[in-house]
Amino acid sequence: MHQQRERKVLLDSLRERTPASERCYMKARTILPGGLSSGARAFDPHPFYAHRGQGSRIWDIDGNEYLDCCMSFGVLILGHRHPAVMEAIKSQSERGLIFGAPHEMEIKFAQKFVQCVPCADMVLICNSGTEATMQGIRIMRAFSGKDKIAKFEGGFHGWHDYALWSHNLHPEKMGTPERPTLVPDSAGIPDAVKETMLLLPYNESAFTLIEEHACELAGVMIEPILGVGCIPVEKSFLERLRQVTRKAGVLLLFDEVVTGFRLGLGGAQEYYGVIPDLATYGKAIGGGFPIGAVGCSAEMMSEVIDGDMPISVAGTFSGNPMTLAAGNATLGFLRDNPQMYDEMAAKGDHMRSSFNEFAQQKGLPAIMTGAASLSQVHLREPPVSNPRDMLDQDHKTLHDFQLYLRYNGIFTPRIHWAVLSAAHSDEDLEWAIRAHKVSLEASIKAQAARS
Ligand code: PMP
């Protein structure tokens, strides 16, 4: 009862602060599916409607200021409205927005990209992480002459039909830890697609399955930091995956949509010292504009482009000048200021260790996982080292935790996922840590009162 009252008070106070957002949301629900352009933006009692952003801060249309720890789900690695990016898009906009013809920025961007990405001599540019994994899968199939693609349970690789399987876990449908069952994450995905997929568990059995299916398996894709749960994959696991796939004649794709240019200039490949055959990108490399990319060797790219039956490379907006102006400015700034990576990682480490020490001292069942500038809170005892571990927590309390964070002025997505940027100052970090601690105590107290 007490928790319900607490939650109602919280929801009411969030509602009272955001009347204009509530009106927008009510209107949006009548004309947009679920009122949103992406389900990931949902929030209780309603999402706030963004008005403007600057550096590490975001303001809603009611004038409330939040510390932005969403950073557009990892896009804004330099923060809102970074001067280098703003200058680049201003300059590009004065010359035209889109041409339907090649332009020099494509080459400038691609040169920076391949200089930094260990597995890439060439890069295919598209419009989103979803398009990137779609093209990555196609490249693996075309190059290998095999059809089947393996993904890991809990892995997220965008929202096309070949990716949207077993991202969300359902205890009653998910199968055993050794042989997990493929479950679609959306209505409208043909059942026949299942025949082209193989689901791997995030444990040793994955290697056996890859060997068993080697003759039909084009490639394996993995997020080097499992997005669900912000769980860094063990280095030894990735090394083993590299060895096993190479030996089995199966390609390895790192989905670096989140980790690319975020864990470091060379992304997860550099961070772990494990080089995949190809890698997919998105988010940060577009500097705030929609982008996707696939990087691979010149040999692989020429095989799928110069053969009798080339893969299709298309897209009205692919290589958009505005996107590449912002992306080129972002990659250039990151390349010229590589110390920012150590600074962001130190802040992320400090946030995780402060939170985890606090939880331990107070005897609260909570852990913040993650790596570098990416973190996520789980309300259970450690460890959280597999997507299945996340099922074992009180999701109502997790929901309360999110409401408290928002109440305390922190913007994180509905599924807690805290992303830091180069714009987060030491003061911002202390605010974020304080708010996480206060919200943890309050939500666990509410849980205790309920039981
Ligand atoms: N892969 C990963 C690892 C992602 O996290 C995402 C998006 N969160 C995607 C692919 C899809 O990217 P987009 O939303 O740009 O289509």
Q: For 2-80+339-450, which CATH superfamily applies? A: Aspartate Aminotransferase, domain 1 (3.90.1150.10)
Strand order in the sheet with 65-68: 50-54, 57-60, 65-68, 410-411
Ligand 1 center to residue 412 CA distance, Å?
17
Q: pLDDT digit string (tens) for 378-426?
A: 999 999 999 999 999 999 999 999 999 999 999 999 887 899 999 999 9
* Number of C-beta neighbours around residue 432 at 10 A: 26
Q: Taking residues 258-267, report their average pLDDT.
A: 98
Q: Whole-angstrom Cα distance, residue 375 to residue 436?
A: 12
- In a mutational test of the pocket of ligand 1, which residue from 258, 280, 374 has the highest number of ligand atoms less than 8 Å from its CB? 258
Ligand 1 center to residue 296 CA distance, Å?
18
Whether residue 255 contacts residue 294, with contact meaning beta carbons closer than 8 Å, is answered with no
CA distances from 242 to 180, 204, 210, 237, 363 (A): 21, 13, 11, 9, 39
CA distances from 349 to 46, 119, 377, 418 (A): 31, 27, 14, 12
What is the predicted pLDDT for the residue at 2? 44
Where are the alpha helices (H) located in 295-367, listed in sequence order? 298-305, 321-336, 339-362
pLDDT at 3 exceeding the cut of 70: no
**Element (DSSP H or E) covering residue 281:** strand 278-281
CA-closest residue to ligand 1 atom 1: 157
What residue ranges of the chain are covered by domains with CATH 3.90.1150.10? 2-80+339-450
Q: Taking residues 283-303, report their average pLDDT.
A: 98
Whether residue 79 contacts residue 422, with contact meaning beta carbons closer than 8 Å, is answered with yes
What is the predicted pLDDT for the residue at 258? 98
Whether residue 443 contacts residue 364, with contact meaning beta carbons closer than 8 Å, is answered with no
Q: Whole-angstrom Cα distance, residue 279 to residue 395?
A: 33
Q: Whole-angstrom Cα distance, residue 387 to residue 202?
A: 8
Ligand 1 center to residue 130 CA distance, Å?
6
At 420, list the tokens: 């830091």
**Nearest to 403, CA basis, from 3, 58, 51, 71:** 3
pLDDT at 4 exceeding the cut of 80: no
Give the CATH fold of the 83-336 domain. Aspartate Aminotransferase; domain 2 (3.40.640)
Whether residue 68 contacts residue 411, with contact meaning beta carbons closer than 8 Å, is answered with yes
Contacts of 360 (CB under 8 A, 6+ apart): none
Q: pLDDT digit string (tens) for 164-202?
A: 999 999 999 999 999 999 999 999 999 999 999 999 999
What is the predicted pLDDT for the residue at 423? 98
Strands 251-255 vs 217-222: parallel, antiparallel or unpaired: parallel
Looking up tokens 């509410």, which residue turns up? 446
SS3 track for 65-111: EEEECCHHHHCCCCCECCHHHHHHHHHHHCCCCCCCCCCHHHHHHHH
Strands 410-411 vs 65-68: parallel, antiparallel or unpaired: parallel
pLDDT at 7 exceeding the cut of 90: no
- In a mutational test of the pocket of ligand 1, which residue from 75, 127, 151, 157 has the highest number of ligand atoms less than 8 Å from its CB? 157
Mean pLDDT, all residues of the chain: 96
Q: How confident is the model at residue 246 (pLDDT cuts 50, 70, 90)?
A: very high
Ligand 1 center to residue 257 CA distance, Å?
6
Torsion of CA 418, 424, 428, 432, to 10 degrees: 10
**Element (DSSP H or E) covering residue 152:** strand 148-152
Comparing 243 with 7, which gets the higher pLDDT?
Answer: 243
Residue list, ligand 1 pocket, CB within 6 Å: 73, 128-130, 133, 156-158, 223, 227, 255, 257-258, 282
pLDDT at 96 exceeding the cut of 70: yes
Whether residue 369 contacts residue 416, with contact meaning beta carbons closer than 8 Å, is answered with no
SS3 303: helix
What residue ranges of the chain are covered by domains with CATH 3.40.640.10? 83-336
DSSP string, 198-261: EEE-SSTHHHHHHHHTTTTEEEEEE-SEETTTTEEPPHHHHHHHHHHHHHHT-EEEEE-TTTTT
413-417 long-range contacts (CB < 8 A, ≥24 apart) are 413/40, 413/41, 413/70, 413/73, 414/40, 414/41, 414/42, 414/43, 414/44, 415/40, 415/376, 416/376, 416/377, 417/70, 417/73, 417/230, 417/374, 417/375, 417/376
Q: pLDDT digit string (tens) for 126-168?
A: 999 999 999 999 999 999 999 999 999 999 999 999 999 999 9
Q: Whole-angstrom Cα distance, residue 447 to residue 320?
A: 49
Give strand pairing partners of 232: 225
**Nearest to 228, CA basis, from 410, 20, 384:** 384
**Element (DSSP H or E) covering residue 149:** strand 148-152
